[in-house]
Structure 1
Amino acid sequence: MAPKSDSTDAIVLRYLNEGNKQKTLGTVCALPNAHVNLSLFIQQNRPLNSQNVADALQKYNLKKAAIQKALDTLADNAKISFKEYGKQKVYLARQDQFDIPNSEELSRMKQENEKLQEQLGEQKRSISEVEGEIKALQSNLTLEQIREKEAKLTNEVNEMEDRLEKLRGGVTLVKPEDRKAVEQIVYEKISQWRKRKRMFKDLWDSITENSPKDVKEFKEEIGLEYDEDVGVSLQSYSDLLQRGKKRSSGDLQQQCAKRPPLQ
Structure 2
Amino acid sequence: MSKGREGAAVGGGPTAVLLRYLREQNRPYSAQDAFGNLQREHGLGKAAVVKALEQLAQQGHIREKTYGKQKIYFANQEELPAASEAELRSLDGEITTRAAAVQALQQKCRQLEAELKDLNSSMTTTEMARELEELRRECDSYSEKLKRMKSATNHVTPEEKEKVCSEQKLYCKEWRRRKRMVTAVPSRRATELLDAILEGYPKSKKQFFEEVGIETDEDHHVTLPEAV
Range class of TM-score, shorter chain: 0.3 to 0.5
Q: How does the TM-score come out when normalised to structure 2?
A: 0.42
Q: Which has the higher helix share?
A: 2
